[in-house]
Structure 1
């Protein structure tokens, strides 16, 4: 009986749940560790994101016989130059457009109410239930706008607290770029040869997954943002830079991000001129077609190998649990977990073949 596979699976499941229960009842031991990890999560994640974008530059400079420390300093100077450019050139334009959009928001709400009322009055054959639904929507439109505004301000508050931890990011980033390659050898020196090879292989797989996703998604998002900005300027759409930057951020969410980024641009165009809303949708479709057919296949390929239905399910769950940050991090987190499970499953299969 003890050699049956079903019995071993049952025992393993019981032990896993017992371990979870023991961790739960000894939460007071792990609480300080969790608080410590939470405190350093923002600088580590932020530095890790910038590391995967800038590390290829440092490696390229190192190939041309530039000392790694000098290469890291050059990267920091480039980052400082980009920050200065953003603060003095991009930020004032975005702030001006955002303030103009906020001031015009009440007018957009009034226009939406007038449009709904006009359509409702001219459609005498509308069922009573639909009339009641439209009336309820019109009456509560201001409430919906207030709720959206409150959510926006909460998100801004989270962003400020997120930015507050940014002063640690340069320190983490410097040592990641300078000594990142020494981390795995430092860990594996305490292991035997077989386990050391396994850990090195796992680290390489995780590093390849994260690097491919972050670098590829960054390039794709920037390209889409540039294409949308050019298209919005051509059709003379208001708030073009703000909407393009919003699209850059949203495109970091795989599969559904492009659709989310299209909504504000189309709505702004419709309120300004219905034809302009149609042109905004056309610009978005053209940009997404170029991205999906030319940019993504050449930049990312099929790195993550995740089914679109899985992506949608993960995004829905992450959005409900962790909000916007969950939408950004759920796909790379899932990809890393998938890489780890695949690695250990492959190790287990190899051990079974050997035995």
Structure 2
């Protein structure tokens, strides 16, 4: 019996169309069944330690392999890499705690300067808004005053989420221990999952797991390398132009690099907003740093390090990020691309099982 294809075209085109169909289905289900969001949130909370553990394992695996090539037994190599990893994390946490009081005072000083800046702009006799028409200037000032008035409310709302913060701290603390067992007995995990598949599909399923594992590993490592280098680059730039708290803004930049397209824009808002009370020259300097950093990332870092790991159309990535953000917030945006990669590999594996003439080759082999 001839198989029926819902979408025609090359395997890559069908993968993109299947991705869009699944994303559209997710949106429709969210509108028709609000309980889906609750289920997704519950599933994410349960799986979050394992997802973070996978992230840590992908990050540390190259170091383990280097030690294995030097004659270390696998378990000893993992333990040595973990010792270095925990020393590095401990140093970073100690440095963050040491700077916490300084950052808190800086935020308080920033709010005072921001209020003073709005007062200076409000007289309309001088400053960057003086040339604007009175109605437009009044609208800008009204919007700024509304935003400033809501800052305490937003701060209180974040404090009310401390319970979620402690849960997240627990998950982050637990995930390295899960990653340890994944690094030591990674192949055993693959064999365990393959046992639940019918024997006729077991070889294809095992191959699919290894392909997903390899593609996610390359994506995570490339993303981390780009994020770290981008953070270092903006740190040097902010120090060069004399912007305070350059290290804090660099860390935020590195974190938001994990969200394609949208992340760098959100990360740029923090230093630009902080520079407003310091004068428009500081705003322009901070903007220049952001612009140069993005040019370096897009034209040098990403092509050299990440390459074409995802092999997804930019529009498909952007759609996945928006849907992930709508369903699960910031974490959904971070997970959007990895989930899309998994869906892509599953589609190709499904085509391989259904193709009468044999396996359908994936574009990257």
TM score, norm. by length of structure 1: 0.81
Aligned to 1:106: 111
Instruction: Using the TM superposition, give the Cα deviation of residue 135 of structure 1 relative to its aligned residue in structure 2, in angstroms.
Output: 5.8
Instruction: Using the TM superposition, give the Cα deviation of residue 299 of structure 1 relative to its aligned residue in structure 2, in angstroms.
Output: 1.0
1:307 matches 2:347 = no
Change (3 A) 1:137 1:192: closer
1:204 matches 2:204 = no
Change (3 A) 1:293 1:3: closer
Aligned to 1:242: 248
The structure with more radius of gyration: 1
Instruction: Using the TM superposition, give the Cα deviation of residue 74 of structure 1 relative to its aligned residue in structure 2, in angstroms.
Output: 0.4
Correspondence for 2:186 among 171, 177, 180:
180
Correspondence for 1:73 among 72, 79, 91:
79
SS in 2 for 1:351: coil
1:117 matches 2:122 = yes
Does the 8 Å CA contact 1:255/1:308 hold for their aligned counterparts?
no
Change (3 A) 1:196 1:3: closer
Instruction: Using the TM superposition, give the Cα deviation of residue 143 of structure 1 relative to its aligned residue in structure 2, in angstroms.
Output: 3.7
Aligned to 2:338: 332
Instruction: Using the TM superposition, give the Cα deviation of residue 55 of structure 1 relative to its aligned residue in structure 2, in angstroms.
Output: 1.1
Deviation per CA, 1:69-128: give whole Å up to 9, x if none: 1011101101111122112234322x1342123212422441452355244997698375
Aligned to 2:260: 254
Higher relative contact order (CA 8 A, sep 6+): 2
Change (3 A) 1:343 1:191: closer
Instruction: Using the TM superposition, give the Cα deviation of residue 353 of structure 1 relative to its aligned residue in structure 2, in angstroms.
Output: 5.7
Give 5+ residue unaligned stretches, structure 2: 7-24, 30-34, 360-365
Correspondence for 1:153 among 150, 156, 159:
159
Question: In 2, Cα distance between the equivalents of 1:192 and 1:138?
Answer: 62
Change (3 A) 1:175 1:222: same
Instruction: Using the TM superposition, give the Cα deviation of residue 160 of structure 1 relative to its aligned residue in structure 2, in angstroms.
Output: 2.5
**Aligned-CA RMSD value:** 3.4
Does the 8 Å CA contact 1:98/1:239 hold for their aligned counterparts?
yes
Correspondence for 2:92 among 83, 86, 94:
86
Larger CA deviation: 74-83 vs 304-313: 304-313
1:96 matches 2:101 = yes
Larger CA deviation: 46-55 vs 95-104: 95-104
